[in-house]
Each structure stands twice: as C-alpha cells, then as structure tokens.
Amino acid sequence: MSWLLIVLLYFSTAWPLAQKLHLQQQDLFAHGTDDPNAAASMLELSQKMAETVQELVNQLRNIALTEKLAC
C-alpha cells in the first residue's frame, strides 16, 4: 500500500491508474477458487493487471521525462 501513497504524493496525475491497479489486485486476492473456471478467470484478472501496470509505467515515465526526473 505504501507505493500507492508515493504515487499519490509525488505523482498525483498517475493516481487513477494506481488506484485502478490496487482495486484489480484486491479483486484478484478476493477471487474464489471453488469455481471450475477459477484459474482461467484469475489469469484474465492478472492480464488486466499487467496492462494497467504497463499504462502506469508509461505514465510515470512520461512524468519523469516532462519533469526532467529521468537520468
């Protein structure tokens, strides 16, 4: 959860994606394993998380370049 606070404090424009990723993570943790299709639906949730992570990384990279934070 601390990474979420860092994004909020220092990169507030990336907050919506960070929050989206957090909610996706919570959905994955709460996902039941009793359903016969549990593995497939968990993989689908994981794929959505990976897409969100890529969006978040791209946005943070753009922020870093814009703010001259990148080395």
The tens digit of pLDDT for each residue in 36-54 reads: 888 999 999 999 999 999 9
* pLDDT at position 69: 58
Q: Is the pLDDT of residue 71 over 70?
A: no
CA distance 30 to 19: 16
DSSP 6-68: HHHHH-GGGHHHHHHHHHHHHHHHH--S-STTHHHHHHHHHHHHHHHHHHHHHHHHHHHHHTT
The tens digit of pLDDT for each residue in 15-34 reads: 899 889 999 999 988 888 88
* pLDDT at position 32: 85
* pLDDT at position 44: 93
CA distance 71 to 69: 7
